[in-house]
Chains A and B, each alone.
Chain A
Amino acid sequence: MIPVEYYLVLSAFMFTTGVIGVLIRRNAIVLFMSIELMLNSANLTFVTFASFLGDSAGQVFIFFVMTVAAAEAAVGLAIMIALFRNKQTLNADEVNVLKW
């Protein structure tokens, strides 16, 4: 039987991987996938505690996280398409018109 710490450590590894992706990559779509990894690790923690505490409220919150993730995916990719149409790049370091 797998103890609760194993699931939590797996979730922590996934979150750390997402942080690494946000820090070392500059392609906007890869940054976006790293954010999805972090959201999924939070979901994994929710499901872990929902199962180990015997309460289904954690599983309900997954729906909220997934809805926000889907909304973020739609709007984020729309922004990237508009960005690519205007600047012909998705490199996050080259998009600096708002930087003073």
Chain B
Amino acid sequence: MYDVFFYIFAAITILSAFFVVTTKNVIYAVYSLLLTFFGIAGIYVLLGADFIAIVQIIVYVGGILILMIFGVMLTNKITSVEIKTQTLFVIPTAIGVGIFAGVLIARMITANWRTMPLNIDYSTTVYSIGASLLSDYSVLFILLGILLLITLIGAASIARKED
């Protein structure tokens, strides 16, 4: 039953990801990336990571994609047709990426991962994640807060108009 959902979400993810990198129109690429993020959120749900799936939708779709759409709109003149962009180096890229993907996928299939069979109890993971963040990884948690503060200041100071 759940297998069908895996194949559906995987197909959505792969096809929209390919559309992101091949389409000539940047706006289409952004909206296709939205489908990719939703597909990945669905796969997170199938893996039993409910909180991660919600955070994926909130942070990526609600935050990063909106920022990207603003970026596209602010960097294209309304009158110009510069919104279309070209591709290049297709043949060398195909050869190099083919070798890379072949090695990567062959390694992932043949390796002995020593995993247990998937046994998801469909209860929430919020408690264990919160306990880990505030005990084992508390220093990293604080550092991430400082990183976000620096980012806020840096982004505002880079993007402002020069006096």
Q: Which residues of A contact B (CB under 8 A)?
A: 1-2, 4-10, 12-21, 23-27, 29-30, 32-34, 36-37, 40, 43-44, 47-54, 56-57, 59-60, 62-64, 66-71, 73-75, 77-82, 84-85, 89-91
Contact = CB atoms under 8 A, between A and B. Distances in A.
19 contacts: A2-B2, A5-B113, A7-B43, A13-B14, A21-B21, A24-B89, A25-B85, A27-B85, A30-B20, A30-B21, A43-B40, A47-B44, A47-B52, A53-B116, A59-B129, A60-B133, A70-B148, A78-B156, A84-B74
Given A4-B115, A10-B14, A75-B158, A26 B88 contact: yes
Summarize B's interface: helix, strand, loop or mixed: helix
Given A81-B75, A82-B159, A90-B75, A25 B21 contact: yes
Contacts of A70: 59, 63-64, 148, 151
Nearest to A84: B75
B29 A30 contact: yes
Interface residues of B, number: 80
Contacts of B116: 52-54
B68 to A, nearest CB: 6
Contacts of A27: 26, 85
Given A29-B72, A33-B29, A75-B151, A12 B64 contact: no
A77 B68 contact: yes
Contact of A60 (B43, B85, B101, B132): B132
Interface in B124-163: 125, 128-129, 132-133, 136-137, 140, 144, 147-148, 151-152, 154-156, 158-159, 161
B55 A63 contact: yes
Contacts of A32: 68
A47 B75 contact: no
Most buried by B among A63, A70, A89: A63
A86 to B, nearest CB: 9
B158 A79 contact: yes
A90 to B, nearest CB: 5
Interface string B102-120: 0011001100010111111
A78 B37 contact: no
A87 to B, nearest CB: 11
